[in-house]
Chain A
């Protein structure tokens, strides 16, 4: 292994993108043997700052000093050479190759032109044992779970001799149990003398794992705190610039059933059955949360409910009438609304203006047209009203929606859907990639809608969010419902286990035997 880096200093980092100041004189430093968290909302400049350290971006001003010498990285290869590795949010792995092949990719072989996969495998086993990574070099990456793939990425960085490792939102794709496992690994790495940068916007994770916390907002450094004794609301204030309102405890008085799903079977894109016999009921004035790791059928469930995906068998009832065979258009008119998971692909048309996006469905409404002509006057009035009511920040109504921030786009989509006063709202990942301020607003709106009698089906990967908002929570695993609980009768740990497919009372899963690593 190369010499371990003891101290990385980034001083007065300035990075400009056309029209945006992504980093404005940011100072950041990292010592060996610590986890330093970079906390901030989306677009605060966390990833940009770290991509600078990893050589993906060049700085406009400032300097990077490693162990006392100033360094310039022109590419990630330079940074890797110096001992800095980065694990991206989206893994850079080839699914059809084995772990060892992935790790060996792009690395010189110890045997010149001949492959040395056995040497690589051996080293993987060593690293795996040293850090408790439990990775089998002969497994096909495509067969591994997301958590395991992440460990392969860590191995890759360690194999290349990285002593500083940057983790970009590593927990976003993991179940709570997988997060715990990851933290154990990370703590072990710190003990071995590695320095870690942990990019996140989840406060409890940051306070649980990290030694120091640096908060960024709008490209500016808001300050660095020691994790010990730091107050959560102080951090929030640094991130958002103000205090957040806390959600109040609410009465739960469900009304009549609005949405009923009976024995639903749906085939996913890859021709595999993704929803395998789901029964659900959502009542008026209730939020039913769907908890689950992404890819367990939530998307297909939502899509079949609103009618963009065909149902193989089973039925969907809206206020007691069967809508299984209705077209999407008819469902919307009967009171189904959706906040789609892929906001920019399914929820909005990038090149359309804010106003045009408000009327994707409603332009067919009589009040917004005169015969076949669009009635721009009433349209503008309606759009202006929605923008005002939902505090969407946009320069004008004619601004193309792609120029708005994620949070504002989501607010606009929400405004559009709620303006129809739906009796059922399917909200898929409504706050994913949305900044804290907008998330808070979206949460409040969802609760308001619930109180006004709408039945809401909310799916989210953020278990905290789900737990906070839902009246009942259903856990989905491999297309089936593992259980439905009232919020007060459950806790995040139980839900987390179910999300991983482990039912209470099941014997604990046997530890994977890593045959290839045994002598």
Chain B
């Protein structure tokens, strides 16, 4: 699972041989896993007397066959990418964040609250303000399980899942009470949703008559920031060290619990940001079912992207496309909705399985490479001595 990006090419040092091939393997094989999963799913489709070619081409058409398809896929890719980036940071510290759903909700609530409370702020303050509020609220929701893990060794998988339930009920309470849309109360519909956000807080739509909004840029920028964070900063270095070997990290004076807590907090913040962007870019208000399962699907997208911020760019677009295309496919060939979940599940299985396979290939190549390289290095050091 450990992905190592060739840092040296960015640091201006020469990449050692075999690097290019390794990079290819690590990036390409997860996508081959997706294809294998689709082939297996094709057999299931055949059992249901559905023509898989028709089904898949409907899926592809729906996701990437038109401008509208593309923009829908990107709209879904945006929260997946942000949640996935958080998962990736946490995973690097060997902490598993399953709390994306709850963090998305908290971020959405905080962003909505900010926009509704300060509707008169100028646009260039209001939008970053909402995003900051969303990030901080999500981070807080990640900090709690992070603190519990660091201080009391509470398993973060359980605690983050429980935090999801708390967040969900909290949102239900707010939407049916204090935050309920006054318009809805007036009209007597009593829908569980908040008031509409002031237009100054809306994210710009990039293509007319589509949902594609400028939040996609924010997600892109954060992908680059997370990459820089993990591989160029001291904190990122510590987080990776802690994830790979907590014992050696501890022996070197790195504060292991603190870094685990920090990684979960940042992960929460990124999910919170996903939530507020979903509100500002798509719905323009907070409403039930806002999370759309992104908190969980984001984990899978992160795995597909080899837990690397840049690998997750294509991975999240692909997964966004799968979500969009699955709907089209369902409509086109009339297959049960549960099958879509089965296909997504197969993809997860194949992608995580492929990681093992890559690991083996690389290990074999490495031992071979060392046998070649070591005598050379020895000869070189002999030369420098004399």
Contacts and interface: CB of A to CB of B under 8 A. Distances in A.
B241 A346 contact: no
B233 A19 contact: no
Contact of A356 (B237, B253, B376): B237
B26 to A, nearest CB: 13
Interface in B211-263: 232-235, 237-238, 240-241, 244-245, 247-255
Given A332-B253, A403-B370, A351 B234 contact: no
A391 interface: yes
Contacts of A364: 234, 253
A20 interface: yes
Interface in A300-338: 306, 308, 327-329, 331-333, 338
Nearest to A362: B252
B313 to A, nearest CB: 23
B370 A360 contact: no
Contacts of B8: 398
Given A360-B254, A394-B377, A350 B244 contact: yes
Contacts of B373: 395, 399
B187 interface: no
A97 B217 CA distance: 65
Nearest to A340: B251
Contacts of B238: 363
B112 to A, nearest CB: 32
A183 to B, nearest CB: 38
A351 B244 contact: yes
A376 interface: yes
A351 to B, nearest CB: 5
Interface string A496-515: 00000000000000000000
B251 A346 contact: yes
Contact of A393 (B11, B240, B381): B381
Contacts of A345: 245, 247-248
A397 B364 CA distance: 20
A349 B364 contact: no
Given A373-B233, A398-B16, A393 B377 contact: yes
A397 B16 CA distance: 9
Nearest to A360: B252
A321 B234 CA distance: 30
Contacts of B235: 372
B205 interface: no
B338 interface: no
A380 B381 contact: no
Contacts, number: 121
Contact of A374 (B237, B241, B255): B237
Interface in A223-252: none
B386 interface: no
Interface string B355-386: 00000000010111111011011100100110
Given A351-B4, A364-B234, A374-B233, A388 B384 contact: yes
Contacts of A350: 244-245
A89 interface: no
A395 B374 CA distance: 6
A338 B237 contact: no
Interface in B15-51: 15-16
Contact of A18 (B241, B252, B364, B374): B364
Contacts of B381: 388, 391, 393
B13 interface: yes
Contact of A349 (B232, B245, B371): B245
B384 A20 contact: no
A328 B376 CA distance: 39
A394 B241 CA distance: 21
A452 interface: no
A72 interface: no
A493 interface: no
Nearest to A396: B16
A393 B374 contact: yes
A410 to B, nearest CB: 14
B116 interface: no
Nearest to B367: A19
A353 B242 CA distance: 15
A359 B384 CA distance: 25
B2 interface: yes
Contact of A395 (B233, B247, B254, B370): B370
Interface in B78-107: none
A393 B238 CA distance: 26
A396 B381 CA distance: 12
Contacts of A348: 245, 248
A347 interface: yes
Interface of A: 17-20, 306, 308, 327-329, 331-333, 338, 340, 342, 345-352, 356, 359-361, 363-364, 369, 372-374, 376-377, 380, 388, 391, 393-400, 403
Given A17-B367, A328-B250, A345-B248, 8 more contacts: A308-B250, A331-B253, A345-B245, A350-B245, A388-B384, A393-B374, A395-B370, A395-B373
Interface of B: 2, 4, 7-8, 11-13, 15-16, 232-235, 237-238, 240-241, 244-245, 247-255, 364, 366-371, 373-374, 376-378, 381, 384-385
5 contacts: A17-B367, A349-B248, A363-B238, A374-B237, A391-B385
The 7 closest A-B pairs by CB, nearest first: A329-B253, A19-B367, A360-B252, A395-B373, A19-B368, A376-B11, A361-B252
